[in-house]
Amino acid sequence: MLARHADPIAAIATAPGRGGVGIVRISGKNLAPLIEAVCARSLKPREATYLPFRDAQAQPIDQGLAIHFPAPHSYTGEDVLELQAHGGPVVLQLLLARCLEAGAAICVRVAQPGEFTERAFLNDKIDLAQAEAVADLIDASTEAAARSASRSLSGAFSSEIHALRDALIHLRMLVEATLDFPEEEIDFLQKADAHGQLSKLKHTLAGVMRRTEQGALLRDGIKVVIAGQPNAGKSSLLNALAGAELAIVTPIAGTTRDKVAQTIQIEGVPVHVIDTAGLRHSEDEVEKIGIARAWTEIEAADAVLFLHDLTRAGGADYQAADAAIAALLTEKLPPRVPVIDVWNKADVEATAPAAGLRLSAKTGAGLDTLRRKLLEVAGWQSAPEGVYIARERHVQALRRVDAHLSQAETQLAAQAQMLDLLAEELRLAQNALNQITGEFSSDDLLGVIFSSFCIGK
């Protein structure tokens, strides 16, 4: 273990002030003196004991449950002491301070965010994908995201990665062995059907990639920006989707100035909806800033809902203004960002639009079709059962694996086979795969991942 991970750490492991019960936990080597000082007795392994937690004068700070998990059978793989106390912020702070004081001789310090889980990772209790799943479980914004984070935490994602890794290692062994017998190499690889193995591996990888992309979508969701002329009903649409009166709605054009954002969920997929100021030429200082902000949001969108007003769609001025906005959208958005034309106020008698979705923010008609359309542009294919949570980092790593396997295929198919190049591509593919579970990950990567945890985890 690295030196910086040597000292015992302590933290309040539950959000203080909210729960009825709060836990202070300590992890490290040789916690016996601390246990003796705070609990005034020894504890049976992994058994909850009701006792007073004592201060330096042996006065009780609180009465609660103490559990000692001797190493290596604990969350972190180190000795862990849990003090389950009453959940008030002051009592928990007192208890934490007491543990730091009683543990001064063994150098107990306050834990950094994610440090317990980082130790679980460093002690091989969990791999990196599972450690990330811990954070994703805590941060999950929908039930579907929480369930799939739990699936990743139990290893559903990791075991798919391990299966890929095992197949890859098998193929690498074959190639490396062939490298040792250069005279027979082509024959040898053919007999072992290296080509068949490689294409089977790529096929399996494609499936894992699809599921990982779905998992990342479930974690991160998509950002959808509602844009259009003033008065089209953008704020009304946000309110209708959110089921709450979040944004101000009036018949006055130019009502919305600042963006209004709300995360909704559609079939468990988080959709970050952003209502923006109506787009038009304006001399109003405040409105101009609002419109500039609208464009900033639009440029960062995964999808844009271009909202039109059916009741005004027949007017030449209205059409010209819409055409100007459409041209700007094409200019400013990368081609991968879809613009969905939506015609609002379908509850009012009006002539049909040329193309696009019709709905009424007022009555709710057409909203279900819009929701389905949003899932479609997001690329959501799954029913949420069976999905494991994943991150963009994992998707990127799998894409690198795929690229190296494609290179390997090319090498294998070439007339003059360069076996050392083939071997190198397979090695790089395995490296990329290992980055997901954290074998051979750099300290930089670990720093980024664990620093985003909450304190006490």
Ligand X SMILES: Nc1nc2c(c(=O)[nH]1)N(C=O)[C@@H](CNc1ccc(C(=O)N[C@@H](CCC(=O)O)C(=O)O)cc1)CN2
Ligand Y SMILES: Nc1nc2c(ncn2[C@@H]2O[C@H](COP(=O)(O)OP(=O)(O)OP(=O)(O)O)[C@@H](O)[C@H]2O)c(=O)[nH]1
- Report the interface residues with ligand X, using CB under 6 A: 69, 72-75, 82, 125
To the question of whether residue 338 is assigned a binding role by annotation, the answer is no
Structure tokens at 444: 């930089």
Minimum distance of ligand X from residue 14's CB (angstroms): 9
Minimum distance of ligand Y from residue 347's CB (angstroms): 5
Pick the closer one to ligand X by CB: 73 or 170.
73
To the question of whether residue 302 is assigned a binding role by annotation, the answer is no
Question: With binding defined as CB under 6 A, does residue 250 bind ligand Y?
Answer: yes
Burial 208-217 (b: 16+ CB within 10 A, else e): bbebbbbbbb
Mention every residue, 6+ apart, whose C-beta is less than 8 A from residue 76: 27, 116, 119, 120, 123, 125
Mention every residue, 6+ apart, whose C-beta is less than 8 A from residue 150: 133, 137
In total, the chain counts a number of residues equal to: 457
> Binder to ligand Y among 20, 251, 334, 335 (CB under 6 A)?
251
Secondary structure of residue 313 in the 3-state scheme: coil
Question: With binding defined as CB under 6 A, does residue 345 bind ligand Y?
Answer: yes
In this structure, are residues 337 and 301 in contact, taking their beta carbons and an 8 Å threshold?
Answer: yes
Pick the closer one to ligand X by CB: 125 or 391.
125
Among the listed ranges 99-107, 255-263, 418-426, 436-444, the one in contact with Mg ion (CB under 5 A) is 255-263
Pick the closer one to Mg ion by CB: 229 or 430.
229
Which of ligand Y, Mg ion, ligand X, none does residue 253 bind to, with CB < 5 to 8 Å depending on kind? ligand Y
Pick the closer one to ligand X by CB: 118 or 322.
118
Burial (CB count <10 Å: 0-12, 13-18, 19+), residue 56: exposed
Q: From the CB of residue 342, how many other CB atoms can be counted at a distance below 10 Å? A: 26
Question: With binding defined as CB under 6 A, does residue 281 bind ligand Y?
Answer: no
To the question of whether residue 72 is assigned a binding role by annotation, the answer is no
To the question of whether residue 125 is assigned a binding role by annotation, the answer is yes
Kindly give the pairing relationship between strand 260-266 and strand 303-309.
unpaired
Q: How far is CA 396 from CA 33, 34, 208, 257, in A?
A: 47, 45, 12, 37
Q: From the CB of residue 341, how many other CB atoms can be counted at a distance below 10 Å? A: 17
Pick the closer one to ligand X by CB: 80 or 340.
80
Question: With binding defined as CB under 6 A, does residue 454 bind ligand Y?
Answer: no
Q: Which residues would be at the binding site for ligand Y (CB under 6 A)?
A: 230-236, 249-251, 253-256, 277-278, 344-345, 347-348, 360-362
- Residues belonging to the binding site for K(+) are 231, 250, 252, 255
- Residues belonging to the binding site are 25, 82, 125, 231-236, 250-256, 275-278, 344-347, 457
Q: Which residues would be at the binding site for Mg ion (CB under 5 A)?
A: 234-235, 255-256
